[in-house]
Amino acid sequence: MLKYYVLIAFVGIQFSQQNDCKENGEFKKNFFECIDNIETYNYVINTTLENRVTTKMYISSLKDLSQYCEVDFTLIMNYTQKYNSREVYEKEKQVWLDWYNDNRCNNLKWKSN
Identify the top-confidence range among 2-6, 43-47, 93-97: 93-97
Q: Percentage of residues in the chain with pLDDT exceeding 90?
A: 56
CA 13 to mean position of chain CA atoms: 27
**CB-neighbour burial class of residue 46 (10 A; exposed 0-12, middle 13-18, buried 19+):** exposed
**Residues 70, 72: Cα–Cα separation, whole Å:** 6
Domains of the chain, residue spans: 23-103
Residue 2 has pLDDT above 70, yes or no: no
**Residues 65, 27: Cα–Cα separation, whole Å:** 11
Q: Do 68 and 99 contact (CB within 8 A), yes or no? A: yes
- Enter the pTM of the model: 0.76
Residue 105's pLDDT band, with cuts at 50, 70 and 90, is very high
pLDDT digits over 42-91, tens only? 988 766 666 688 899 999 999 999 999 999 999 988 888 899 899 999 99
Overall average pLDDT of the 16-42 stretch: 88
**CB-neighbour burial class of residue 12 (10 A; exposed 0-12, middle 13-18, buried 19+):** exposed
